[in-house]
Every structure is written in C-alpha cells, then in structure tokens.
Amino acid sequence: MSITAMQQPVTATRFSATLLPIMAVVFAAFLVIGVAMPVLPLHVHDGLGQGTFVVGLVAGSQFAAALVSRPWAGHFSDSRGAKRGVVVGLLAAALSGLLYLLSIGLTAAPLISVAILLLGRGLLGAAESFIITAAVSWGLALVNAGSTGKVIAWVGSAMFAAFAIGAPAGSALYAASGFMAIAGATAVAPLLALLLVAPLRAVAPVRHGRLSFAKVISAVWVPGFGSALGSLGFGAVTTFVALLFAQHGWAKGWLAYTAYAVAFILARLFFSHLADAIGGARVALVCAVIEATGQALIWLAVRLEMALIGAALTGFGFSLVYPGFGVEAVRRVPTQSRGLAMGAYTAFLDLAQGLASPALGLIATGASLNALFLVSAATVLCAALVASWLMAHPATLEGSRQ
C-alpha cells in the first residue's frame, strides 16, 4: 500500500472499525494508571506515613512530567510517526513499574521510597504523554476532518474505561497483595499492549513544514486555559475522593472512581458528536457547569449516595469539556501540526494537574477535605467563562487553508 493511500482518511461509515484498535491499545496502556488511582493515596498516606501534601505531590508529579514531555511527544508524533510514539510510551510505562517495585523494597526508609515513587510517577507521566498524544494524532490522521471531536472523545473514552475497570481491579489487587501487585501490573501490562500495537497500520508523517511550538502555543492557549480550569474536578476526584470516603467511613471508595468513569464514558458514547456539530465552545460551556455542580455536591455530601452522584456529574461534565475545547484548539493549527497542537493543548491540563493536586492537598491540610471540592467547583465555573469568550471569537479553520 502506498504512503498516499495510507494517508487518505476513512469514510464516516468506517469510523468505528478504524478507531477501535487504537482505542484498544489506549485501554490496555491506561489500565496501569487506573489500578493505581484508588490505592496510591492510601499507599503513600497509610503505608509510608506521609501527609496529604505529599499525597498530592506524588499524584501531581505524573501530570508535571507529562507537561514537560508534551512538546517532545507532539514533535515525535508529527515527525517520526504516531505508531512509534505509542511504542515509546508503552516502553516507558513498563520501566515506571520497575521503579515502583524498587520503591517497595525501600519502605523502611519512607523518604527514599517516596523519592523513587516520584521518579516512577514522573516516568509514567511521560509515558502517558506519548501514548495519548500519539494515539489521538494517529486517529485524526485516519478519519475524516469533520470528526475531530469524536476522535478526541473516543480515544479519551478508552482511557477512562481503563480507569473504570482499573479502579476496582486495583482495590482488589491492593487488598490481596498490597502495592507489590500494583507495581507488577504496571511493569507487565504495557508490554502486553505492545502486542496489540504491532499489527496496526502506521501512517507516514506529513513532510510539509510544521509550526514551531511557540506558534502552536499562541494558537491554542485560550482553549488550553479553559481545559486546564475545567480539569480541576477530575484532579480532585482522582486524587482525594478515596481519602474523603475513608474519612466519612464510607466503604468501597473505588465506587466513586467507577461512577465518575461510567458517566464519563456514557456522555462520550452518546454526545461525542456535539462538539463537531454545534461547536466545541458551546459544549464546553454547558458541561463545565455540569461538572461544577458535581463538585459542589461532593462538597455538600453527607451521604455516600450524594457523593457518588457528585462524582458521576463531575465525570459527565468533564467528559465533553476536554474534547469541546480540543476542537477549538485543533481548528487553530494546520494539519501537519496536529500532534504538536494536541501536545500543547493537553500540556495545559498537565500544568493544572501538576499544580492543583499539591495545592488542593494544602487546602485539605489547612481546612478540610470537603473544602477542596468547593474550591474546585468555583474554578471549574471559570472554564465556562473561557468557553463564552471562545463563542464570541470563533476559530478559523487553519488546517483547511494550508
């Protein structure tokens, strides 16, 4: 098959068949993040005896490392090919599992163990950056230009499906064998995912001139800023909801992760087309309000059911905030810079998570776990203001003019 033929986008009727294999790879890769979500805070807090600030620091280190690696991941995907980008990410994820294993051997020296765990989380963040950036770029190269929002939404759905399944699986593994089982799964699962990648068709990178990272940043920073503000609900749930459940004495804290992820997936399954159909900014505006409502419910929760509804609303809202702003970002750059654009756009989310997790941890230390969800709700509402601005300043389709 010629390179030209390989670069022709598929028709809408073949969308699912084209994207499902890539989604399967993302699902397998992100299981390793999902299994650690409900237990990593417990391991650091209870197993290593560290406070909520260190819990937030360990969790946020993954996002900070992903932030630093986004430009590299985007450049690599655009210049070397998206498939190679996914392979590099999977190998880095497996190596992070080995660092997890090393940290377990040093639990008698908690500070050293935490330091090595931070390195592992950082490497996993870089791996996540390569995998998701390259996977989205891969999908965008294979489908028609009118499905940008669906590609972003569907690939992200595979990621959160992994979270939904990984959360209870991680809790079960942790209960049975401790953090050792989580570390082992982190080392092995990415290597198994390589078996899924091998037979998939690669797409040759576009050789035309690409924009510099500075120009891409200037094109996508507004939707990126909106996405960053809208991501705080995600960070608050994934990092601190397990501790909140434990504080209230509510059993099965993993249910909050599952409620979040299931609502997230259902929203993308039924409404992922809306960003392409009516505009990403409009979708982001409505969904930011929904997400903020969910965070407010968790803040006010006095019963398990109320907190679960809040987690579900948070997941439903954030599910389309990210692709909504993402459509606005991609429309501002030429086709040959899509990978870098997605890397730059997602870097704003990483920056928010890298800063927000420790900051929310400090709020919890000084006030209460409930209070941090109030702060998150107010911040997410600011994303709706950014969406309003984008509606008043619509994107120009840069890619169509190249």
Where are the chain's structural domains?
14-394
What's the mean pLDDT when you consider all of the chain?
80
CATH code of the domain occupying 14-394: 1.20.1250.20
Amino acid letter at 225? F
Instruction: Specify the DSSP element, H or E, that contains 330.
Output: helix 304-330
**Residue 125: which of 84, 153, 92 has the closest Cα?**
92
Mean pLDDT for 177-183 is: 85
The residue among 35 and 382 whose pLDDT is bigger is 382
Cα atoms in the Cβ-side hemisphere of radius 13 Å centred on 57: 15
pLDDT grade, residue 189 (50/70/90)? Answer: confident
SS3 301: coil
**Tokens representing residue 366 in the block:** 């000084």
Q: Is residue 92 within 8 Å of residue 130, measured between CB atoms?
A: yes
The residue among 188 and 177 whose pLDDT is bigger is 188
**260-302, pLDDT tens digit by residue?**
878 888 888 888 778 878 888 899 999 999 999 999 998 888 8
Alpha helices (H) in 198-279, listed in sequence order: 213-230, 232-248, 254-271, 274-278
Question: What is the spatial distance between Cα 132 and Cα 158, in angstroms, rounded to a whole number?
Answer: 10
Residue whose token pair is 């950036």: 133
**71-83, pLDDT tens digit by residue?**
788 778 877 888 8
Question: What is the spatial distance between Cα 143 and Cα 112, in angstroms, rounded to a whole number?
Answer: 47
Instruction: Quote the DSSP letter at residue 8.
Output: S
Q: Is residue 331 within 8 Å of residue 62, measured between CB atoms?
A: no
Judged against a pLDDT cut of 50, whether residue 250 lies above it is answered with: yes
pLDDT at 286: 94
Judged against a pLDDT cut of 60, whether residue 337 lies above it is answered with: yes
Question: What is the spatial distance between Cα 101 and Cα 108, in angstroms, rounded to a whole number?
Answer: 14
**19-56, pLDDT tens digit by residue?**
888 888 888 888 888 788 778 888 887 777 777 777 77
Q: Would you call 329 exposed, middle or buried from its count of C-beta atoms within 10 A (0-12, 13-18, 19+)?
A: buried
- What are residue 143's phi and psi, to 5 degrees? -120, 170
Q: Is residue 381 within 8 Å of residue 292, measured between CB atoms?
A: yes
pLDDT at 401: 40
pLDDT at 402: 39
Q: Is residue 97 within 8 Å of residue 187, measured between CB atoms?
A: yes
